[in-house]
């Protein structure tokens, strides 16, 4: 399978042969499982309730055990009382993350990437690092390649960190280093921009 290579003006320069490690069948259950792993890894439980042992106060017995005619109580911080502890409430100690082998994560990335290549959603450029470092220049480049309507869903995978800050202020555009490219980045954006250097880095990464 051959991939066209473009220059920064959007003109086709040459064609390259797609490395064999990029060819992988589309495996939707695997992609779903790895995406759950990504989301759960960054999940944090903000909901947190205190038990009767953690609520402040309630050290002494509210009233004597006998003689008052009222029900017996040992602490105002009992779950039966207003302002007391909560029974079986949400706790932030809960861990949602689980483990997935590295080979499964790589294969899920290969699967989705190859589908995007077949759907013509991956563009390979000769060199992306020669783009101007100003946000306006990158914005003009995206409009020239995709047009104003389609530029709002692009992941730009760079070989260095120089241009990442320049892309932060463009709506719908996410820039990252090729070595940090992951499944969630590809799913969040429709198009992927790579250069020849990035193809080599991914080829080494996929050889597991």
Last residue of a domain, one of 95, 115, 137: 95
- Identify whether residues 87 and 100 lie together within a single domain: no
- Identify whether residues 8 and 81 lie together within a single domain: no
- Identify whether residues 54 and 67 lie together within a single domain: yes
Total domain count, the chain: 2
Kindly report the pTM of this predicted structure: 0.81
- Identify whether residues 114 and 14 lie together within a single domain: yes
- Identify whether residues 70 and 148 lie together within a single domain: no
Q: Of 165, 140, 43, 132, which Cα lies nearest the Cα of 94?
A: 43
Find the domain containing 62 and state its range. Answer: 45-95
- Identify whether residues 85 and 12 lie together within a single domain: no
- Identify whether residues 145 and 165 lie together within a single domain: yes
Write out pLDDT tens, residues 3-36: 899 998 888 899 999 999 999 999 999 999 999 9
- Report d(CA 120, CA 126) in Å as an integer: 17
- Identify whether residues 157 and 201 lie together within a single domain: yes
- Report d(CA 19, CA 41) in Å as an integer: 31
CATH number at 37 reads 3.40.1370.10
Write out pLDDT tens, residues 73-93: 999 999 999 999 999 999 998
């Amino acid at each position: 399978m051959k991939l066209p290579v473009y220059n920064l003006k959007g003109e086709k320069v040459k064609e390259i042969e797609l490395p064999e490690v990029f060819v992988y069948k589309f495996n939707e259950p695997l992609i779903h499982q790895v995406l759950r792993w990504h989301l759960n890894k960054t999940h944090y439980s903000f909901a947190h309730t205190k038990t009767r042992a953690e609520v402040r106060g309630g050290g002494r017995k509210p009233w004597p055990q006998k003689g008052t005619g009222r029900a017996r109580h040992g602490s105002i911080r009992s779950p039966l009382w207003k302002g007391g502890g909560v029974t079986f409430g949400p706790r932030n100690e809960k861990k949602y993350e689980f483990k997935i082998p590295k080979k499964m994560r790589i294969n899920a990335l290969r699967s989705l990437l190859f589908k995007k290549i077949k759907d013509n959603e991956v563009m390979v450029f000769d060199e992306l690092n020669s783009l101007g470092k100003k946000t306006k220049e990158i914005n003009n480049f995206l409009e020239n390649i995709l047009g104003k309507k389609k530029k709002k869903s692009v992941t730009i995978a760079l070989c260095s960190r120089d241009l990442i800050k320049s892309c932060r202020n463009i709506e719908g555009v996410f820039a990252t280093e090729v070595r940090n490219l992951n499944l969630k980045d590809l799913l969040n954006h429709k198009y992927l921009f790579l250069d020849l250097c990035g193809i080599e880095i991914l080829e080494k990464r996929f050889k597991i």
